[in-house]
Structure 1
Amino acid sequence: MTKSPTMSYSILQRVLHWAMALLIFFNLLFTDGIEQWNRISKRGGELAASDAFSANIHAYVGISILALAVLRLILRKVQGVPPEQAEEPAIARLAAKVTHALLYLMFFIMPLSGIARYYFDVDTAGELHAEVFKVILWALIAVHIAGALAQRFYFRTDSLKRMTSGV
């Protein structure tokens, strides 16, 4: 049985997209607690309760992002996604596909590397997480947003509406 293509993302897919966006921005912007924990843990010092709380929030948000990413992949498989925009040039469609694949990869790499550092004391994972992967994720977010804006205002497709209003 062949599933008919969906013309828009489901409400749950859209909610998960925007919830993850908020959680990702939260963890990218508010890193003081986890950075303080990292500095103190490397020196073997005593961690203040407020620093431990902030570090735990960062960790729990990261774990939530990982769980939501798994759910998003399941929903993509079960509910499908809208077809590519035929009005866009092939290179733009390829760029969108590559960017989305790399974003999904980062949805797993970032939390898993953070978990490796925070819970299993793997310093290399923490360094990659905070220095390399973070920069890559910011770059991918910038490309993703620029692509969405290009789809809306340059190519004049409804891609952005499919992830906002569901039209």
Structure 2
Amino acid sequence: MQRYTTPAIVLHWLVAILIVATFALGLTMVDIPGLTPTKLKYFSWHKWLGVTVLGLACVRLLWRKTQGAPPYPDSMQPWQQRAAHGLHILLYILIFAVPISGYFYSLAAGVPVTYLGLFPMPVLIAPNPDLKPVLKLVHYTLNMIMLGAVSLHVLAALKHHFIDRDGVLKRMLP
């Protein structure tokens, strides 16, 4: 069975870990009442992680487009291959859409993003109190869709490993 390339594996797991960390930090920070120094710090870290995910997603997509992916095993049913392909497309869309929606939500709230506290990101929209709640809902909804898609992705990988024993998961393990 063919494996993914080492850079593809590293990018996959790095993005996966950062998404989990960003999601967990997002849930933690919104549960902190009021506007405390800790909450503000967590918001900054959350944004930095989001920008990092977006940057790595660009690298990952470029790598995937130039290097491709190993073929699915012949034992995989055609409908499973189509489902896996569709889920991968959805995950790629979400890896871009979630941080972009958060970025625009932050801008609409009048809070520009400064990556790592050093590099100001471009301000693409002016503060907009009418757009802020819409973008907040979009960001939240996309995150919940991502949670579902990632969960399905993990469950499918485990099914292939423990039930089908077809080596699909091993293609992406370091």
Aligned equivalents of 1:52 and 1:114: distance in 2? 15
Larger relative helix fraction: 1
In the aligned structure 1, how far is the partner of 2:133 from the partner of 2:105?
6
Judge conservation of contact 2:11–2:56 (CA < 8 Å) in 1.
yes
**Paired AA for residue 105 in structure 1:** I
1:43-82 alignment runs, 5 A limit: 47-82=35-70
Q: In the alignment, which residue of structure 1 is the partner of 2:92?
A: 104
Q: Which residue of 2 aligns with 1:92?
A: 80
Task: Give me the TM-score of the superposition, normalised by structure 2.
Answer: 0.79
Q: Hey, what does 2:138 align to over in structure 1?
A: 128
Is residue 26 of structure 1 aligned with residue 14 of structure 2? no
How far did 1:154 drift?
2.5
Unpaired runs of 5+ residues, structure 1, are: 1-5, 41-46
Question: Is 2:107 the partner of 1:119?
Answer: yes
CA distance in 2, matches of 1:80, 1:93: 15
TM-score normalized by structure 1? 0.82
Q: What is the CA-CA distance between 1:141 and the residue it aligns to? A: 1.0
**Structure 1 vs Structure 2 CA RMSD:** 1.9
Q: List runs of 5+ in structure 2 lacking aligned partners.
A: 110-131
Distance 1:106 1:64 in 2: 14
Percent identical among aligned pairs is 28
Deviation of 1:123 (Å) = 2.7
Paired residue total = 151
